[in-house]
Amino acid sequence: MILGCATDPLSVRGEVVAVVDGISGGFEFEPRTDLVEPDPEEPRVAGECRIGGSEVFASVARGPASDVEAVVRSFAMRMNYEDAGEVWLSTADTVYSAESSSTCELTLVRASRSDATVALRFDCSVQNAEGERALVVGELSFAGCFVD
């Protein structure tokens, strides 16, 4: 799977801050950080960013070989061009999710097909299958996205 444009590596800047069971964790990408393709042996953060005809998808994830104590293992967000979408947050053993709503504000700040860039903002209360809630807030700016 191609993760970025053929000429530019996929990179991200920004942060994801989550509070799960009273414990804070997430991702911080300052300065801009190059992302790698998913690989079980890779300790660096993997990512994907895709600009489609009707929606944008972006994700960041720690590989199994990375920081095993990290509260947040992955974060993903799908947005259409009308600011409707979904967000997913995973810990070591639980997936939380939410759709855009009054308790989950998702914003597509920018999606440029010509520059292959995407910027997302999010402030959500997410829920797992058992009804337990977590909070996730932040902003991510991707460069080198794959354009369909």
Q: pLDDT tens, 13-32?
A: 999 999 999 999 999 999 89
Answer whether 60's CB lies under 8 Å from 35's CB. yes
User: For the chain, what are the domain ranges?
Assistant: 11-143
CATH of region 11-143, choose from 1.20.1260, 2.40.128, 2.40.50, 3.40.1440: 2.40.128
Q: What is the pLDDT of residues 48-86, one digit of tens each?
A: 999 999 999 999 999 876 776 788 999 999 999 988 999
Average pLDDT for 43-50: 92
pTM, 2 dp: 0.91
Q: What is the pLDDT of residues 117-133, one digit of tens each?
A: 999 999 999 999 999 99
pLDDT at 65: 66
Find, among 20, 105, 133, 144, the residue nearest to 71 by Cα.
20
